Chain A
Amino acid sequence: MSKITMVEAVNLALDHAMESDPDVVMLGEDIGVNGGVFRATQGLKDKYGFKRVMDTPLAETLIAGISIGMAAQGLKPVAEIQFMGFIFPTMEQLICHAARMRNRTRGRLSCPMVLRAPFGGGIHAPEHHSESTEALLAHIPGLRVVIPSSPVRAYGLLRSAINEPDPVIFLEPKRIYRASKQEVDHKTPLLPLDKCFTLKQGQDVTLVSWGASVKETMEAASTLEQHGVSAEVIDVATIKPLDMETILTSVQKTGRCVIVHEACKSFGAGAEIAASLAEQALTFLKAPVERVTGFDTIMPYYRMEDHYLPSPDDIMKAALKTLSFH
């Protein structure tokens, strides 16, 4: 078994999904001959032909709209939006149609599509390429929003997302596309959607994160360990619907929680988790829930992005703050 990066794991998941199900098709800008700007679809056009790996005109609304049309007829389209910053034209199609096709027809038609997009900061990309706007999509009933944090989870979650009979927004943290390698192949298991993954067991504080921030969160947990603090680390993985059960069980044990995400602080998925903890775990909490997030500002251009993104040090300080609360 060979070790591969997250973007290679995405490619492998797409390959295996197309291999196992002739109804799986792919579409997007530059995904065919070019193999995608991040090479996530490299080689797939040559293997499956242009009828299954389709270069579309430059039109994001259309990409989402035709995916809905295809999905309602029984295909399983996997659409790529080149960067999450270009996802906004798709919102009307996703909110008004994809998310509600099953409900408005009482199951007569459904929308088994996946919309993939690289997202997040940290790769020195131009303006509009680095935002984390996952909460916008997570607010919509009928959608699933899934975010992997490693090659193994990218493979297992993407395969499951493609099998899912409802629409899934699959957001790929591009900062860690090539940050690490793991062993992934045909035997790598499919992973459940709607479930958090506990990456590290701990007793003193629960650190909750997703996507690229899991990397900094794990680094913070290691440093805390050296200071004698045992942190439990949870990778949320599916932002919507949220698996609060895993988070609650952990917080009931540790009594403290730090939520880490790149997105703006206000009205983010972290706020949803904190509110649910207040509703359901108040008596277990030994300290206020902390959030370590991006600021409520526009994501800065890349010269300043390190000031925006949460660092391992920020996370560690927040964890220590919860530990020192009396």
Chain B
Amino acid sequence: MEQKELNPIPIYQYLDAEGEVIERLPGWTEDKDILLGYYRHMVLGRQADAKAVALQRTGQMGTYPSCLGQEAISTVTCALMKKEDVLVPYYRDHPGLMVRGIPLSDILLYWGGDERGSSGDHWGKDFPNCVPIATQACHAAGVAAALKIRQDSGIAVCALGDGATSKGDFLEALNLAGAWQLPVVFVINNNQWAISVPRRIQSGAPTLAQKGVSAGLPSYQVDGNDVIALHEVINEAIDRARSGKGATVIEAISYRLGDHTTADDASRYRSSDELQQAWGKEPIKRLRTFLHHRGYWDEQQEQALIKEVSLQIEQEVQTYLNTPLPPVKDLFDYHYANMPSALKQQKQEAELRAAGGQSHE
């Protein structure tokens, strides 16, 4: 049997790598504000990402995972969500978090090693970054179950990477989502690399999306660098979840143009030719070309946007850099709602130690 016969998954694409239309466009693309909104957020996401890497390189932030190249997936996913929906992100969703209303200063604060980066009210009920792989898929299923049980109107959206699809948590969550008809959308950011392990070694399945088929879920592949295709597929999945028809699995195919994190050097395991080819497919240039062709965008607007975004990022960076360290008591105050007495003693000890006093009699 040919491998392609094993692939039961449709793949969606409207714009080719050069931004040329290759499929009849859906009606909503006549609304240029939607497309321009995506473009602005993606540009913001990319500039912010570059700034975050620079902060790490200059010792002003901790290890950071770049989202370079996969801005479209995160941006479109979050733009299509409603406020009452719950995002269960993975650690490379920075553009989407900003779409959800999380200030960049929070994102920098989190990667700068401060728990308060996940604490503000603007986070609502959204989950914080998930560093362990795929564990958040189960949280998303639980959130969806809670929404269904309480008859709340929202849905859950779970983001994860291609490596996450190899873990049991992912498969267990999909299995439950199918069995319980849960209002959840799983969006796989297939950026081709799980640190140094390429997609072809990650799984023998021709597509990652088809793992959803075994759970009885509608499952699709989409060009993750094509905002129009992403919008179509994700919007339909969100509608399905919202109308009580259950979960969907979407494999959005993109490419991690950067290193895994700032502690990684991808040149050790992948070729510059491959990287160069991937740059030819990246989402921002593709959308910009399309917008130019349609007369929605010009160089003047581009320059104005770059300036506006730079100013915004600079302000957020200053907010982050000016955030004072939390007090030592914060180490203790949030582990339990009702602090155990033994911990109260350790808290006093830590405060004494921080004040330069003796911690032992």
Residue in A73, A97, A241 whose beta carbon sits within 8 Å of that of B146 in the complex: A73
Of A50-58, A177-185, A281-289, the one with at least 4 CB within 8 A of chain B: A50-58
For residue A93, CB closer than 8 A to chain B, the reply is yes
Whether the pair A106, B139 counts as a contact (CB closer than 8 A) is no
**0/1 string, B125-144, CB within 8 A of A gives 1:** 10110011001011111111
Whether the pair A93, B176 counts as a contact (CB closer than 8 A) is no
Interchain CA distance A264-B184 in the complex, whole Å:
43
Residues of A within 8 A of B118 (CB): 104-106, 108
Instruction: Indicate whether A69 sits within 8 Å of B172 (C-beta atoms), given known contacts A103-B334, A104-B118, A166-B336.
Output: no
For residue B335, CB closer than 8 A to chain A, the reply is yes
What residue in chain A is nearest B88 (Cβ atoms)?
Answer: A69
For residue A126, CB closer than 8 A to chain B, the reply is no
Interchain CA distance A283-B351 in the complex, whole Å:
28
Residues of B within 8 A of A244 (CB): 342
Residues of B within 8 A of A245 (CB): 341
Residue in B125, B142, B340 whose beta carbon sits within 8 Å of that of A66 in the complex: B142
B268 CB → nearest A CB, Å: 28
For residue B343, CB closer than 8 A to chain A, the reply is yes
For residue A142, CB closer than 8 A to chain B, the reply is yes
For residue A74, CB closer than 8 A to chain B, the reply is yes
A283 CB → nearest B CB, Å: 14
Whether the pair B135, A65 counts as a contact (CB closer than 8 A) is yes
Whether the pair A62, B138 counts as a contact (CB closer than 8 A) is yes
By the criterion of a CB under 8 Å from any partner CB, how many residues of chain A are at the interface? 49
For residue B264, CB closer than 8 A to chain A, the reply is no
Whether the pair A61, B169 counts as a contact (CB closer than 8 A) is yes
Interchain CA distance A268-B156 in the complex, whole Å:
40
Interchain CA distance A242-B346 in the complex, whole Å:
14
Whether the pair A65, B172 counts as a contact (CB closer than 8 A) is yes
Instruction: Indicate whether A93 sits within 8 Å of B119 (C-beta atoms), given known contacts A59-B172, A73-B146.
Output: no
For residue B175, CB closer than 8 A to chain A, the reply is yes
A-facing residues in B105-152 (Cβ within 8 Å)? 115-116, 118-121, 123, 125, 127-128, 131-132, 135, 137-147, 149-150
Could you list some 11 contacts between A and B, CB below 8 A? Answer: A59-B172, A59-B176, A65-B169, A69-B139, A69-B143, A70-B146, A72-B143, A92-B132, A97-B132, A243-B341, A245-B341
Binding site for B on A (CB under 8 A): 25, 51-52, 54, 56-57, 59, 61-62, 64-75, 77, 89, 92-93, 96-97, 100, 102-110, 141-142, 144, 164-166, 194, 241-245
Binding site for A on B (CB under 8 A): 86, 88, 115-116, 118-121, 123, 125, 127-128, 131-132, 135, 137-147, 149-150, 156, 168-169, 172-173, 175-176, 179, 330, 334-338, 340-343
